[in-house]
Amino acid sequence: MSKYEFEIKDAKLNKNVKKKVQGRHWFLPYEVRKSDGSRNQSVSRAEFYENFKAAAREKGGEVLLEEVGQLVFTVPRDDGGKTWCRLSTTGMGQQYLHIIDEKSFSKSLTFSAAEM
């Protein structure tokens, strides 16, 4: 179990805020390669973002922040939970993806008011 801090846009405050999310964490660095094995630096940041946004929305997800250098979005899971993602890219064919399968709250204590 890990905690990861996402930056998201708070529409009510009209500013970016931090959101700590706890769950299973993955970090995936990857590059777009040409057929000769060299890195394809012609893929733009906007192209990466548009593809990820479209895929997230197709699954019922929500974009929480889009700025130069990062895209934060969530995707609902079949188990009722939520997967959080932060995509950052250099714009030169490199991407870094942080993924957290948010752990949903599970009640572990059971007692009545009288027992408290």
Position 114 scores a pLDDT of 65
Do the domain assignments include residue 71?
yes
Instruction: State which residues form the domain around 80.
Output: 2-102
Total domains in the chain come to 1
- Could you read off the pLDDT of 64-92 as tens digits, one per residue? 999 988 999 999 999 889 999 999 987 67
Residues 26 and 8: their CA atoms lie apart, in Å, by 19
Do the domain assignments include residue 107?
no
Do the domain assignments include residue 113?
no
* DSSP codes of every residue in 41-78: TTS-HHHHHHHHHHHHHHTT-EEEEEETTEEEEEEE-T
CATH code of the domain in which 97 resides: 3.30.160
Confidence band (pLDDT; 50, 70, 90) for 61?
very high
Position 105 pLDDT exceeds 60: no
Do the domain assignments include residue 108?
no
93-to-46, 54, 65, 99 alpha-carbon distances in Å: 11, 19, 21, 19
Do the domain assignments include residue 15?
yes
Query: Pick the residue with more confidence: 103 or 60?
Result: 60
Position 63 scores a pLDDT of 96
- Identity of the residue numbered 98: H
Q: Which of 88, 25, 81 is nearest to 52 (CA)?
A: 88
Do the domain assignments include residue 116?
no
- Could you read off the pLDDT of 7-52 as tens digits, one per residue? 999 989 999 999 999 999 999 998 888 999 998 888 888 888 899 9
Do the domain assignments include residue 109?
no
* Pairing state between β 82-89 and 62-67: unpaired
Decide: 25 and 2 in contact? Cβ < 8 Å: yes
Q: Which of 87, 17, 91, 88 is nearest to 47 (CA)?
A: 91
